[in-house]
Chains A and B, each alone.
Chain A
Amino acid sequence: MAEIYYITTNGTLRRDENTIMFESGEIKKKIPIENTSELFIVAEVSTNTKFLSLLSQNGIIAHFFNYYGYYIGSFYPREGNPSGHVLIKQVEHYLDKEKRLYLAKTFVLGSIINSEKLYQIDASEHLEKLKQASNVQEVMQVEGSFRKLCYKALEELTGWEFETRTKRPPQNPLNALISFGNSLVYAKVLGEIYHTPLNSTVSYLHEPSEKRHSLCLDVAEVFKPILTEGLILELIRSGTITENDFLEETEYCYLNLDGRRKFLRAFDNLLKSTVYYPKLKRKVSIRTLIRLELYKLVKHLTENEPYIPLNYHSLKK
């Protein structure tokens, strides 16, 4: 599979013949287009339409993040693999209350089963409440109260202060890490959706009006415990990320350049790391796991094959 490239230095991105050219002061670096699947631009870059049309021709998505590492949006080239049939099925599963509730519950189920091992939390009470939930709002409440437990556990396991979830802006390092990590997961899910026939705007747990690509928020629930929280735990426990990796003021806290680079490197390594996937009888990368999750969703919608979320910790490394 082609690579994800991360740009963390301010500069210029432009088209040079049929390849990507990144320039910053003295640095001139070519990025081979054939080997690029996605760009994460976590720096301030200037670019032009020619560059974007090069990306478009090659079906490459570019995710933009601002100076503080805050997700701005993605350049999503015109239609990846659209399918009218799948779109109709997606909408059918949204309009039918029971069908929507099933999917909303399974995304939260995925989030819970992938979190409970990570934090060693007993989730049985929440799983029962999830089963009982009779509408999407109740499902959201179960998710919210379970997530609080997780964040408390994260605070205990790291010894870092968390208090409460603060987003715009995050007010302490743990919150800053969660914000940055979750926005990467969200963008990454979008990057995979592009290669499937799914329409990223029709979602089940989150309201489709909530964000432009709200299906990413749904699917990201399953992967956040693995790609955000699991990663944060690992980075803090190993001492890779320390208090020095943040820009901290009284009103806000963000990862500084060094911190962002460390996080991105670990994020990329994790995406590339493989686990044994019994159904395919071979090892697959975490990135492929995201794709497989989307395939399962397509099959749920078009083949009546019930979607069962990934249980990450049941897979052998």
Chain B
Amino acid sequence: MDLRELKFRGTQVAYYVVCQRKLWLFTKGISFEKESEYVQLGKLLDEISFSREKGEEFAYEPVSIDFFSTGEGLVVHEIKHSSALEQAHILQVKYYIYYLKTKGIKVSHGIIHYPKQKKLLKVEFDEKDEELINEVVRKMDEVVRKEIPPKVINKPYCKKCAYWEYCYG
């Protein structure tokens, strides 16, 4: 396994699922997250949820995992505001698990918390997922290497995106 491939942040993996244009723009430093109310809400939720469980973040790593617990191995936890983009969150957590595995850490599974909806989602990881992540990372590389960004995608959820005014204005 070539470790250089895992240079992406978790959010970038989620962006890949949600919108490849957003992935491209974000990777090029064209970012509007600081402006968005939804992003600020998410940040606040992250700050106030599970404050007891949270340890120190690991520095110098591209990934920043919300918090861990231990079971049969390490359990990776991710906190999200709404389950509307569940598929993206699942892939993000799978990416975290894979990332830790490449570092030789035994991971049991992942859990996505939707505190506002009082909902939990267990994320399993198997061998097929390894192939899946490899494929995703390869495709992400293709996207970010493009000379110009992918076109706007015109999805209903665009209206809640921090990039909405940028893409459609």
Chain A interface (Cβ < 8 Å from any Cβ of B): 59, 81-86, 195, 197, 277, 279-280, 288, 291-292, 295-296, 298-299, 302-304
Contact = CB atoms under 8 A, between A and B. Distances in A.
Contacts of A59: 34
Interface stretch (B80-88, B101-109, B131-139, B161-169): B161-169
Given A84-B29, A197-B30, A304 B166 contact: no
Contacts of A304: 148
Nearest to A37: B35
B161 to A, nearest CB: 13
B141 to A, nearest CB: 16
Contact of B169 (A83, A85, A195, A277): A277
B115 interface: no
B34 A195 contact: yes
B28 interface: yes
Contact of A86 (B29, B35, B148, B165): B29
A81 B31 contact: yes
Contacts of B31: 81, 83, 197
A54 to B, nearest CB: 17
A304 B30 CA distance: 15
A302 B28 contact: yes
B148 to A, nearest CB: 5
Given A279-B169, A291-B165, A292-B165, A197 B148 contact: no
Contact of A83 (B29, B35, B149): B29
Contacts of B166: 295, 298-299
Q: Is the interface of A mostly helix, strand, loop or mixed?
A: helix
A86 B30 contact: yes
A81 B165 contact: no
A296 B148 contact: no
Leading 6 A-B pairs by shortest Cβ distance: A83-B29, A85-B28, A292-B169, A295-B166, A197-B30, A303-B148
Contact of B28 (A86, A279, A288, A296): A86
A161 to B, nearest CB: 41
Nearest to A292: B169
A295 B163 CA distance: 10
A292 B168 CA distance: 10
Given A195-B34, A280-B169, A302-B149, 10 more contacts: A81-B31, A81-B34, A86-B30, A195-B35, A197-B30, A279-B169, A295-B166, A295-B169, A296-B169, A303-B148
Given A59-B34, A296-B169, A83 B148 contact: no
Nearest to A277: B169
Nearest to A1: B35
Which of A279, A298, A302: most chain B CB closer than 10 A?
A: A302
Nearest to A281: B168
Contact of A280 (B28, B148, B165): B165
Nearest to B31: A81
B28 A83 contact: yes
Nearest to A85: B28
A71 B76 CA distance: 53
B30 A85 contact: yes
Contacts of B32: 81, 195
Contacts of B29: 81-86, 197
